[in-house]
Amino acid sequence: MAKHKKDKFNDFGLGEKSSSEGFRALNKDGSFNIEKINIPFFERLSFFHSLVTMSWSKFFLLILVGYFIVNTFFALIYGFIGIENLTHTEGLSPFEQFMEAFFFSAQTVTTLGYGRVAPIGLPANIVAAIESMLGLLSFALATGLLYGRFSKPQSKIRYSNKAIIAPYKNINGFMFRVVNPQKNELLEVEVNISLSAKRDNSDLRDFYVLDLERSSVRFFPSMWTVVHPIDDSSPLFGLTEEDFFKKDFEFIAMLKAFDESSGQMVYSRSSYKPSEIAWGQKFIYVAKRENGKTLVDVSRINECEKAELN
Amino acid sequence: MAKHKKDKFNDFGLGEKSSSEGFRALNKDGSFNIEKINIPFFERLSFFHSLVTMSWSKFFLLILVGYFIVNTFFALIYGFIGIENLTHTEGLSPFEQFMEAFFFSAQTVTTLGYGRVAPIGLPANIVAAIESMLGLLSFALATGLLYGRFSKPQSKIRYSNKAIIAPYKNINGFMFRVVNPQKNELLEVEVNISLSAKRDNSDLRDFYVLDLERSSVRFFPSMWTVVHPIDDSSPLFGLTEEDFFKKDFEFIAMLKAFDESSGQMVYSRSSYKPSEIAWGQKFIYVAKRENGKTLVDVSRINECEKAELN
Amino acid sequence: MAKHKKDKFNDFGLGEKSSSEGFRALNKDGSFNIEKINIPFFERLSFFHSLVTMSWSKFFLLILVGYFIVNTFFALIYGFIGIENLTHTEGLSPFEQFMEAFFFSAQTVTTLGYGRVAPIGLPANIVAAIESMLGLLSFALATGLLYGRFSKPQSKIRYSNKAIIAPYKNINGFMFRVVNPQKNELLEVEVNISLSAKRDNSDLRDFYVLDLERSSVRFFPSMWTVVHPIDDSSPLFGLTEEDFFKKDFEFIAMLKAFDESSGQMVYSRSSYKPSEIAWGQKFIYVAKRENGKTLVDVSRINECEKAELN
Amino acid sequence: MAKHKKDKFNDFGLGEKSSSEGFRALNKDGSFNIEKINIPFFERLSFFHSLVTMSWSKFFLLILVGYFIVNTFFALIYGFIGIENLTHTEGLSPFEQFMEAFFFSAQTVTTLGYGRVAPIGLPANIVAAIESMLGLLSFALATGLLYGRFSKPQSKIRYSNKAIIAPYKNINGFMFRVVNPQKNELLEVEVNISLSAKRDNSDLRDFYVLDLERSSVRFFPSMWTVVHPIDDSSPLFGLTEEDFFKKDFEFIAMLKAFDESSGQMVYSRSSYKPSEIAWGQKFIYVAKRENGKTLVDVSRINECEKAELN
């Protein structure tokens, strides 16, 4: 098989020793099946990155909790200074005083400033002046975070659940389909497939780059069937489904495109293990013409039918 | 014609079966004549993308309506809690109470906070504190949206209405003109033309990449005439206007450039069908020199005059 | 000279007819000496682009004037509705009433909302609610504009005032110096020189691309002398200073780099006419070593000394 | 050694004269060991760039000090106009008046506007209207600055402290390790090594580009050992550790990658001097498999063990 070895390719920085039955370098969703441990603490902290990538529910919860804590903190400070430094707080119970201070703080940090309760005297005024400035900066930060969350390039490219071995011209091919289900246009799309295989009687893995019928398209308005022809220069040539399992194959697909709506490059990845490869199938054609327009049914990305292999 | 087939080119993910009389893959404005159907609901939602790309009138209407709904909603909550929890609301009719609550809400959500009407007591204060925070986040979002709307790269490149078949050197050429009517500079401009043609006696379409006299320019300060010389290596060689219709040609032009003002790549597309191609014309020269400056009249992009073909 | 013609190069979309004595395509500051006329009105409007690129003084003046106009406009509306709908305005003269309305508007549009003057009743409240929302949106827009102004990639690359013809190895070279006087690092810098020349006994101009001793550097921390060796493959070979004037040469330099601090590509351009070329000079070396550091005196970019040409 | 000289490479714009014992072009942290002097004043000012790159503590101190100065300035103006133009200031001592004016200013610049103290009359209202607008613009700027600070692409790529000379196949290699300790994925990583060497019996330095076993990887999820094989085409061939010192070598590494989380290119640099190169060592393998996942211990990037050189 050495003659097929065209490229040492990315071995994920792990040398070639990472083989074992059932090895998977890349998860189906494109994330790496690799975990970094013992990251120095200060380098793990990537404050902005975390806040931009966390889920929306977590993000809003964090803001709410932060808002509550900040107001509690400042309410305690106003109480410590002396609640009499806030107007309209005379004759209240301690709990009511805390509440007034809490809501005064909320009105200050948001720069709402109704003024029914207002600071009098130096200490309360100093705290309020600082709090309002911090409030503005915090919401300035929130503005950036919201923008960062919304504007980060997101490719929702979907891969067919299964790759297939299908007839292709007078030979066979390894194929899968990709679809861009969103309205944004992807341009200058490039795709490549790498194959990671267990070496016979060894703990090492070999890496191959698979030739594609076509590795790039200028436009990608709908669906694309990526094809690796299994000719005699292919590392898959002459292999059976059983061989795929024996060699513990992993097909790693990587897609790269220019997203016209965001003006940025987007990347997408997925991988197929032998159990996710269907032999003797072909993809069903999913476009039809209606009123001079071409309609593509993206929900049928996975639809196959039986096909005789060559 | 097989010998001209230089590239399988992008077949729009539709295989080669999408042929029929009058097929058009790309509309004149550069949008694809393709519609995706059955997009899973959650993937169709592209909140930020929609808000950034919708028309300005729709955008402002949405904000106004949203503002109205939010204030109505909070006014109802303040009413439900008890309007007596807002100052200066005693002795008002129910409608007046709702109005006071509505405008109190508006003053809260914008963090205006005149304070003439102010919350008293726990429930009203809690609602007001939450409302003001949500208000700030909403306007933070609006800030991001406005920035996203304004800063998104926009190339307004215009193509001549018609392509022409014009004399070129001692042969003929397929030509069209492009102009950048804006003040921003476009650099490193690349253009390519693809030809999609109906195959004889078949439902399939063939795709060709056309050679250009020049496929890239470093600067694009004014107007550019893109030329495909029809020499004997061209798939257009020896064809007549009638042949163009018979083969249901579609010339797909794609332009790519670096927009210096936004620092981003911009893409532009258009297509020409046989009915949009004028034979035996040539473009009129539209630049003149005045006071040491070169003036280019961009409004004359479409001007042609009769020309004898070779 | 035809054998030197390596590239048709960018003829600025003007064909080759734009020749005349003293022709200049590019100004010293890198702007194009070309004006587009008859731009359709709606395409000339590039609101955001104008606001981002105008001078700071103009920008702030515009904001101030806009602020004044908006407040005058809303003051008139409040007056029209009836000034009695604002608190604390009883018993004022018409001028005082206008002033109160004007400043109430200012307090509303900035969401300041002291509340000494506050709206009462439906009409004034409606106007105030709308004004405060518009105010927030306006300042949201200002936020985007300020960010856009500050973050737009700015390369302040400076070119030596004069290009020189200097001895280079055992021949001569056409040289100029570029410096990045800012602290940001420029990486992967590419430079190219094009030569535009009047054709003998003709109105046409020819375009040449000049070979460079080195056309790209990985780092550009200080100063770079760009060199075109005048060997026998150069279109400058054997020419005298007089020839340069006769052929009405224009040397167009274009530089492209990745700006590490902004994460964007920056472009820079300049041009040299024969009167800006010094013959028989060489650039003075401007770096020295001090305390293990290399010091580069960027203010000496133009310093030359006499040098015997080969 | 001339036959190894593959590339004139970047000589940092300093020609080849900058040699001397202990010369270092690039510091360990990737910054250039070069200082620009006599930068024209107005070009040194890069307001936004400075504010975005300064340390957080300096940034917040600057904001606090600015806030204090602005409020002091406006308090003096209100005092100058006449403190009686602010409500609730009658009967106060001069210090108390200044304090009220100071905090009134703070409430105005943040658009807090409690309204307990409010401006009356034309002059105070004019100043307050201007101040609140300036306040909004300042915080708009702060919003942009915070976003700029957080979103600027930051690659925290770490290089092994020492490079090593290790056995590689049946020869030796020059190697170092790089790790991306953060959670963001780096894609399409390219690396190159340049060698700067003192020329024998001369003040000049020579520059070489070193061939790498692999100069790019598609993914970089964990650690990568960069290898320059010392075969007979290498400028290091046959040299001893002593030669490295004598030639005053500097190995300059440059890494470039696409950061998927920010959608931008990131660059990283480092350099190794002979004293930072360990001979006869090899890097220890730091990955292990656990629960089907690969764990990479990034803290062990520097771990070596003795190895017999070929």
On whether residue A36 sits in a domain, the answer given is no
C131 with C207, same domain?
no
- Beta-bridge mates of residue C163: C277
DSSP string computed for A24-52: -SB-TTS-BSEEEES--HHHH--HHHHHH
- Look at B90-99, C228-237, D283-292 and tell me which has the smallest mean pLDDT: D283-292
CATH of the domain at A272: 2.60.40.1400
Would you place residue D41 in the very low, low, confident or very high pLDDT band (cuts 50, 70, 90)?
Answer: low
A160 with A137, same domain?
no
Mean pLDDT of C61-72: 95
* pLDDT at residue number C30: 73
Chain D residues near residue C297 by CB distance under 8 angstroms: 36-38
Residue in chain C nearest A108 by alpha carbon: C112
Cβ–Cβ gap C114/A115 under 8 Å? yes
- How many residue pairs bridge chain B and chain C with CB atoms within 8 Å of each other? 185
* pLDDT at residue number D281: 95
- Of C153, C235, C226, which is closest to residue C186 (Cα–Cα)? C153
On whether residue A249 sits in a domain, the answer given is yes
A279 with A209, same domain?
yes
The phi and psi torsions of A185 (rounded to 5 degrees) equal -90, 135
Instruction: Tell me the per-residue pLDDT of C96-110, one tens digit each, with 9 for 90 and over.
Output: 899 999 999 999 999
CA distance A113 to chain C (A): 8
Chain A residues near residue B266 by CB distance under 8 angstroms: 263
* pLDDT at residue number D133: 94
Helix axes A56-81, B122-151, angle to 10 degrees: 130
A118-157: burial string, b at 16+ Cβ within 10 Å, e else: bbbeeebbbbbbbbbbbbbbbbbbbbbbbbbbbbbbbbeb
Cβ–Cβ gap A294/B35 under 8 Å? yes
Residue D230, C-beta contacts closer than 8 angstroms, at least 6 positions apart = D165, D168, D171, D172, D173, D174, D236, D237
Cβ–Cβ gap B111/D114 under 8 Å? no
- Judged by DSSP in three states, A261 sits in coil
Chain B residues near residue A185 by CB distance under 8 angstroms: 32
C134 with C265, same domain?
no
D81 with D181, same domain?
no
D50 with D186, same domain?
no
* pLDDT at residue number A119: 92
On whether residue D30 sits in a domain, the answer given is no
* Chain D interface mutation, best of B87, B132, B143, highest count of D Cβ atoms under 10 Å: B143
Mean pLDDT of C157-171: 93
Nearest to B254 among A99, A184, A218 (CB): A218
Give the type of residue at D17.
K
- Look at A145-159, A227-241, B203-217, C66-80 and tell me which has the smallest mean pLDDT: A145-159
The phi and psi torsions of B42 (rounded to 5 degrees) equal -70, -20
* pLDDT at residue number A307: 93
On whether residue D3 sits in a domain, the answer given is no
On whether residue A173 sits in a domain, the answer given is yes
B134 with B170, same domain?
no
On whether residue D12 sits in a domain, the answer given is no
d(CA A286, CA C243): 67
Chain D residues near residue B151 by CB distance under 8 angstroms: none
B95 with B217, same domain?
no
Cβ–Cβ gap D119/C103 under 8 Å? yes
Mean pLDDT of A236-261: 92
Nearest to D10 among C150, C185, C217 (CB): C217
C158 with C147, same domain?
no
Cβ–Cβ gap C111/A111 under 8 Å? yes
C76 with C206, same domain?
no
Nearest to A263 among B119, B145, B265 (CB): B265
Q: Around Cβ B72, how many Cβ atoms within 10 Å?
A: 14
pLDDT at A265 exceeding the cut of 60: yes
C94 with C199, same domain?
no
CA distance D228 to chain B (A): 35
- How many residue pairs bridge chain B and chain D with CB atoms within 8 Å of each other? 6
Residue in chain D nearest B118 by alpha carbon: D114
* Chain B interface mutation, best of A93, A104, A107, A109, highest count of B Cβ atoms under 10 Å: A107
On whether residue A118 sits in a domain, the answer given is yes
Contact A302, A188 (CB under 8 A): no
pLDDT at A1 exceeding the cut of 50: no
Cβ–Cβ gap D218/A194 under 8 Å? yes
Domain with A278, as residue range(s), is: 154-306
* pLDDT at residue number D21: 53
d(CA C117, CA C18): 66
* pLDDT at residue number A14: 47
Between B287 and C118, the higher pLDDT residue: C118
Instruction: Tell me the per-residue pLDDT of C83-94, one tens digit each, with 9 for 90 and over.
Output: 888 988 888 888
Give the type of residue at D230.
I
Chain B residues near residue C108 by CB distance under 8 angstroms: 112
* pLDDT at residue number B10: 42
CA distance C102 to chain A (A): 21
Q: Terminal CA-to-CA distance of chain A, rounded, Å?
A: 22
Predicted ipTM? 0.77
Cβ–Cβ gap D218/A37 under 8 Å? no
Last residue of a domain, one of D151, D177, D194: D151
Cβ–Cβ gap A115/C115 under 8 Å? yes
- Of B307, B310, B302, which is closest to residue B281 (Cα–Cα)? B307
Mean pLDDT of C229-237: 95
Between D45 and A305, the higher pLDDT residue: A305
Nearest to D115 among B111, B115, B143 (CB): B115
Cβ–Cβ gap A46/D142 under 8 Å? no
- Look at A231-240, D15-24, D132-141 and tell me which has the smallest mean pLDDT: D15-24
* pLDDT at residue number C22: 63
Would you place residue A2 in the very low, low, confident or very high pLDDT band (cuts 50, 70, 90)?
Answer: very low
The alpha-carbon radius of gyration of chain B (Å, integer) is 30
CA distance C112 to chain A (A): 8
CA distance C232 to chain A (A): 41
| Average pLDDT over all residues of chain A | 85
CATH of the domain at D75: 1.10.287.70
Q: Around Cβ A201, how many Cβ atoms within 10 Å?
A: 6
Would you place residue A218 in the very low, low, confident or very high pLDDT band (cuts 50, 70, 90)?
Answer: confident
* pLDDT at residue number C106: 95
Instruction: Tell me the per-residue pLDDT of D200-231, one tens digit each, with 9 for 90 and over.
Output: 877 778 888 999 998 988 888 778 999 999 99
Chain D residues near residue C132 by CB distance under 8 angstroms: none
Last residue of a domain, one of D130, D151, D172: D151
Nearest to C113 among D39, D44, D113 (CB): D113
- Look at C149-163, D2-16, D273-287 and tell me which has the smallest mean pLDDT: D2-16
The phi and psi torsions of D59 (rounded to 5 degrees) equal -60, -50
Q: Where are the beta strands (DSSP E) in chain C?
A: 34-37, 158-159, 163-168, 171-179, 186-198, 205-210, 216-219, 223-229, 250-259, 264-272, 277-279, 281-283, 287-290, 293-297, 304-306
- Look at A24-38, B209-223, C262-276 and tell me which has the smallest mean pLDDT: A24-38
Residue in chain A nearest C147 by alpha carbon: A144
Mean pLDDT of A119-148: 91
* pLDDT at residue number A38: 75
Q: Identify the segments of chain B with pLDDT beneath 70.
A: 1-22, 41-46, 153-154, 203
On whether residue C201 sits in a domain, the answer given is yes
What pTM, to 2 d.p., does this model score? 0.82
Contact A115, A123 (CB under 8 A): no
Residue in chain B nearest C132 by alpha carbon: B110
Cβ–Cβ gap A35/D187 under 8 Å? no
Residue in chain D nearest A193 by alpha carbon: D218
Query: In terms of residues, how long is chain A?
Result: 310
pLDDT at C3 exceeding the cut of 60: no
Cβ–Cβ gap A10/D146 under 8 Å? no
- How many residue pairs bridge chain A and chain B with CB atoms within 8 Å of each other? 183
Cβ–Cβ gap A47/D150 under 8 Å? yes
Between C155 and A242, the higher pLDDT residue: A242
| Helices H / strands E in chain D, number of each | 6, 15
C170 with C81, same domain?
no
- Beta-bridge mates of residue C189: C217
**Cα atoms found within 13 Å of the Cα of residue D86, Cβ hemisphere only:** 33
- Look at C7-11, C96-100, C131-135, D57-61 and tell me which has the smallest mean pLDDT: C7-11
Angle at D226 between CA D223 and CA D228, to 5 degrees: 165
* pLDDT at residue number A3: 39
How many distinct structural domains can be found in chain B? 2
* Chain B interface mutation, best of D139, D143, D265, highest count of B Cβ atoms under 10 Å: D143
Last residue of a domain, one of C122, C151, C180: C151
Nearest to A156 among B10, B25, B43 (CB): B43
* pLDDT at residue number C42: 61
- Look at A236-250, D11-25, D137-151 and tell me which has the smallest mean pLDDT: D11-25
Nearest to B37 among A214, A221, A295 (CB): A295
Contact D245, D274 (CB under 8 A): yes
